[in-house]
Structure 1
Amino acid sequence: MEYKDYYQILGVEKNATKDQIKKAYRKLARQYHPDVNPNNAEAERKFKEVNEANEVLSDDEKRRKYDQLGADWQRYQQAGGRGGFGGQGGFDWSQYASQGGGFGGFGGAHDFADAGDFSDFFSSFFGGMGGGHGRTHSARPAAGHDLQAEMELTLEEAYHGGPRTVVLGERKLRINIKPGVEDGQTIRLRDQGAPGRHGGPNGSLLITFRIQPDARYVRTGPDLTLDVPVSLYKALLGGEQVVETLGGPVKVKIKPETANGTRLRLRGKGFPVYGHVGQHGDLYLRLQVQLPQQLSTQEQELFRQLAQLRGEAVDQPS
């Protein structure tokens, strides 16, 4: 009988925390899930192995007993495997064995949804050793596993929301995204995960959104910041400026003698507030005054005259 090293299966250390175990399990379950690997016997085997490891290591009592078992098994191997199960030179295996069938060493068959999904390590060792009873259990309904997926969106797509398609192996799922999703936000779609077993409910699909950086906008929660170029003449004399926003063009009044870097606040023109229809953050405009380029001789002369009127000395061209 082969000993199952559940820590090695999940790729974690023996002192791993519950969060580390959970993270490792979800990553591997997603990697080897049958929906992602259709008709792949090796992936199916690994998927069952990962589930078995998680069943034990995610439960404090099961993990404690398993750690005790691992230490005894190591001593047994170091002794050359002498004594069989409880014989001289070995140790007392019967402390782990079922006394009434099922997976008694780990608390009984009711702890597992479908013992057929677990290895001979469970059926032979925890189900049949010591007491001499075979494995007896009834298949109980169990929920399917949750599936995880990531979806990339542009800032504009996150702003507007709308229908998108999620591909899960050979299955395509059409979803509708609410406007205003944030980077790293996860939504849960119930009943869209792995199928339940023996009449149990399906698991959920967890979708995490990744919002691509945008060259124009800086997003802070529901607020947006946008740099807006303004001509020198408009900054000095004032006027109207049309600003293209994610929600469409907006006219903005520029006051005379507006300084470079001035911030304007447009209330309700920012990002939608997720889950609150009609609510938006604010849009902040940073005005960037643009100096005229490639001045003609006449334009240069006019600027010199303006400088003289302001009492500023300007060098004459050589």
Structure 2
Amino acid sequence: MDYKDYYKILGLDKSATKDQIKKAYRKLAREYHPDVNPNNPEAEQKFKEVNEAHEVLSDDEKRQKYDQLGADWQRYQQAGGPGRGQSAGGFDWSQYAQGSAGGFGGFGGEAGGFEGADFSDFFSSIFGGMGGARAGGSTRPGAGQDYQAELELTLEEAYKGGPRTITVNGKNLRLTVQPGVEDGQTIRLRDQGGPGRNGGPSGSLYITFRISPDPRYTRTGNDLTMDVPVSIYKALLGGEQIVETLSGPVKIKIKPETQNGTRLRLRGKGFPVYRQADQFGDLYLRLNLTVPQNLSNQEKELVQQLAALRGE
């Protein structure tokens, strides 16, 4: 029987706190989740290992017994037993496991509560199969598994928000996206994860937003920047121009003799501030002067006359 280093699987040391265990689990579960890695057997196996490690280390009694086993296993190695990752050979498992239905510190009996879970032989041998019942047949409630999912949005969809439907584990869930969400932002939906064990609470669903780049805008926090082409004639003489923003068309005034790269600020025309009603960032316009192409002979003469007048 191969020993599994649950701390190493989560990238932690043995002094890790519950919060550190929970944080590491969520990060790795999101990384290796089957929904994120379809048809990837290696990621699926890592996802199972991460769940198994979390199942043990997040439970005080299981963690205590596991740590005890680890100390004994280390003494066995020092006495000349096979190394970690090799067969346990003559290691005495009887004090920890009593067959597939046996107990480990009182865990054993029926599978109670780990339906659908896929635990290793190492786990099953120690914790009595699926390990959810206490001695005497009483069951211990436990929280359901947390789920991870991603929701892709365009920049305009993130700006407007609104109802969306996401499918997680074959179940369609409807949620309302709040205007102003950011790329990489994660929200939590309580009780939308796996079912609780033996009457325990359901897990949560963590949804991470992925916002696709928009060729028109660059987003910085709640501010937006966009390039606006302006003809050289309008830049020289001044005038008005219509600019399309996410909230609709806006008329801007261009001053005479405007230089290339001039920035204009439109207050309140940026991105909505998340969960702050009627608050918006700003929209910055970067004016890029356009040079006319395919000039006629007459146009060239007029430009030459202007250049001569300017001493160019």
Q: 1:276 to 1:246 in 2, by over 3 A?
A: same
Letter in 1 for 2:256: P
| Bigger helix share | 1
Q: Find the partner of 2:71 among 64, 68, 81.
A: 68
Query: C-alpha separation between the residues in 2 aligned to 1:199 and 1:185?
Result: 31
Letter in 2 for 1:123: G
Letter in 2 for 1:121: I
Q: 1:4 to 1:28 in 2, by over 3 A?
A: farther
Match of 1:119 in 2: 124
Match of 2:169 in 1: 169
Report deviation, 1:137: 4.8
Does 2:293 correspond to 1:293?
yes
Report deviation, 1:109: 5.0
Match of 2:4 in 1: 5
Q: 1:81 to 1:157 in 2, by over 3 A?
A: closer
Contact 1:25–1:50 (Cα < 8 Å) also in 2? yes
Contact 1:151–1:207 (Cα < 8 Å) also in 2? yes
CA-based RMSD: 3.8
Q: 1:178 to 1:13 in 2, by over 3 A?
A: closer
Contact 1:21–1:57 (Cα < 8 Å) also in 2? no
SS of residue paired to 2:258: coil
Structure 2 residue ranges without an equivalent (≥5): 116-122
Report deviation, 1:81: 4.8
Query: C-alpha separation between the residues in 1 aligned to 2:47 and 2:292?
Result: 65
Report deviation, 1:122: 2.0
Report deviation, 1:247: 1.1
Query: 1:19-68, CA deviations, whole angstroms, 9 ceiling, x for partnerless residues?
Result: 68525752488439xxx99xxxxx8x998765443233456745532421
Query: 1:176-205, CA deviations, whole angstroms, 9 ceiling, x for partnerless residues?
Result: 101110011000011111111112221111
Structure 1 residue ranges without an equivalent (≥5): 38-42, 86-92, 127-133, 313-318
Q: How does 1:270-309 map to 2 (within 5 A)?
A: 270-309=270-309
SS of residue paired to 1:22: helix
Query: C-alpha separation between the residues in 1 aligned to 2:9 and 2:271?
Result: 41
Query: C-alpha separation between the residues in 1 aligned to 2:114 and 2:250?
Result: 64
Query: How much identity, in percent, do the aligned residues show?
Result: 57
Q: How many residues align?
A: 279
Contact 1:29–1:51 (Cα < 8 Å) also in 2? no
Query: C-alpha separation between the residues in 2 aligned to 1:225 and 1:295?
Result: 32
For the pair shown, the structure with the greater C-alpha radius of gyration is 1
Match of 2:239 in 1: 239
Match of 2:205 in 1: 205
Match of 1:225 in 2: 225
Q: 1:281 to 1:246 in 2, by over 3 A?
A: same
Does 2:25 correspond to 1:26?
no
Query: 1:229-275, CA deviations, whole angstroms, 9 ceiling, x for partnerless residues?
Result: 00111101111110011111110010111110000000000001111
Report deviation, 1:73: 4.7
Query: C-alpha separation between the residues in 1 aligned to 2:137 and 2:103?
Result: 6
Query: C-alpha separation between the residues in 1 aligned to 2:91 and 2:277?
Result: 71
Contact 1:102–1:137 (Cα < 8 Å) also in 2? no
**TM-score between the two structures when normalised by the length of structure 1:** 0.74
Q: 1:82 to 1:97 in 2, by over 3 A?
A: closer
Match of 1:265 in 2: 265
Query: C-alpha separation between the residues in 1 aligned to 2:68 and 2:262?
Result: 66
Report deviation, 1:306: 1.1
Contact 1:3–1:121 (Cα < 8 Å) also in 2? no
